[in-house]
Amino acid sequence: MSITVVGSVAYDSIETPSGRRDRCLGGAAAHFSLAASFFTDVRVIAVVGEDFGTEQEAVFRARNIDISGIERAAGKSFFWEGSYLDDLNEAKTRNTELNVFASFSPKIPDSYRDSQFLFLANIDPVLQRRVREQMPDVKLVAGDTMNYWIKDHRPALLEVLKGLDILLINDTEAKMLAGNNNLVMAARAVMAMGPRFLVVKHGEYGATLFHSNMRQGQGAELRVPAMPLESVVDPTGAGDSFAGGFFGYLASAPELTPEAFRRAMFYGSVMGSFAVERFGTERMQALTREEIDERFKIFRELTHLAS
């Protein structure tokens, strides 16, 4: 079933120990939709400026991603500049220009309205909520957010959380949102705010799936490590690619069983592991479904006992 995603489509300038790229395609909705497109049909809602070119559009088209919901506005596209020179696990933001996103009011094309899966990528919770309200009948809604919205836009974020089935955030964000430094207790507190499922991403250490109906003594539903990689070129978009693999797999699953959620975690980790191998969206652009299946197999061997 198809996914509609709302979020940023942007230009990123990135510096890492492996080198730098200027104004490459980026943004949460771009990374998410590319990863999810290996599993199901994806439709994007975003806004770009007059500087957004046919070259960038071609990246989406090559993966059959529907971009009829990407609005073109007067002005410049969202721009982010950051570096990972000291620590590959933490981006240092040098510059953020909201540009056309500052006055964005998301509109959902009629052709998107039969999407059964909705992903609210990390943007202003006011915009997330507006999209959610326009698609009240979807089967499953997942979303992401970040420390900025948790800290300074909490009331708006809490409204969004009420309408989510699944929230995907990282350790720091989960603990900040809950005001609790123990991950399991923080997870319970976050799920009490709305989402039935919580995926906490641990960066290079994988991710944990929590469910509001947790069994006593289990702590979580599933914990999946990340692939150990010999070369990490650029971590930008790893979390969004995890989300794309996770939610893309769920949308492609015949039924939303607990086992489907578990497999989705492994696909999320696999897609995150590809994303960091090259700059920006470069690895996703070159990726094949065969490579995904091969790495899923290796990842399973890396984490599972034989008997």
User: 5 has which bridge partners?
Assistant: 44, 119
In the complex, least distance from residue 240 CB atom to its own copies, rounded to whole angstroms: 21
Q: What is the biggest distance separating any 2 CA atoms in the chain, rounded to whole angstroms?
A: 60
Minimum distance of its own copies from residue 301's CB (angstroms): 8
């995926």: which residue's tokens? 199
CB of 6 to its own copies, least distance (A): 31
The SS3 of residue 38 is coil
Sign of CA dihedral 207, 212, 213, 215: positive
Strands 197-201 and 207-211: antiparallel
**Which residues in this chain contact its own copies in the complex, by CB under 8 A?**
88, 181-185, 202, 204-206, 208, 217-232, 259, 262-263, 266, 298, 300-307
Residue 70 or 174 having the CB closest to its own copies: 174
Residue with smaller CB distance to its own copies, 113 or 262: 262
CB of residue 230 to its own copies, shortest distance in Å: 4
Task: Judge residue 233's burial from the number of C-beta atoms within 10 Å of its C-beta, 0-12 exposed, 13-18 middle, 19 or more buried.
Answer: buried
Radius of gyration of the chain from its Cα atoms, rounded to whole angstroms = 18
**Which CB, 18 or 40, lies closer to its own copies?**
18
Q: Cα–Cα distance between 209 and 168 in angstroms, integer?
A: 9
Count the alpha carbons within 13 Å of 175 in the hemisphere toward its beta carbon: 9
Nearer to its own copies, 100 or 226 (CB): 226
Task: Output 84 or 101, the one with its CB closest to its own copies.
Answer: 84
**Calpha distance 102→181 (Å, rounded):** 33
* Burial class of residue 30, CB neighbours in 10 A (0-12, 13-18, 19+): buried
Structural element, H or E, at residue 25: strand 19-26
Q: Which is nearer to its own copies, 133 or 259 (CB)?
A: 259
Q: Which is nearer to its own copies, 4 or 252 (CB)?
A: 252
Minimum separation from the CB atom of position 184 to its own copies (A): 4
Q: How far is the CB of 113 from its own copies (least distance, A)?
A: 34
Q: In angstroms, what is the minimal distance from the CB of 185 to its own copies?
A: 6
Instruction: Name the residue nearer to its own copies (CB basis): 102 or 185.
Output: 185
Beta carbons of 166 and 141 less than 8 angstroms apart: yes
- Shortest distance, CB of residue 154 to its own copies, whole angstroms? 25
| The CA-based dihedral angle spanning residues 154, 156, 161, 163, taken in that order and rounded to the nearest 10 degrees | 170
Q: With CA atoms as reference, report the closest residue to 108 among 219, 5, 216.
A: 5
Tokens of 244: 């794309």
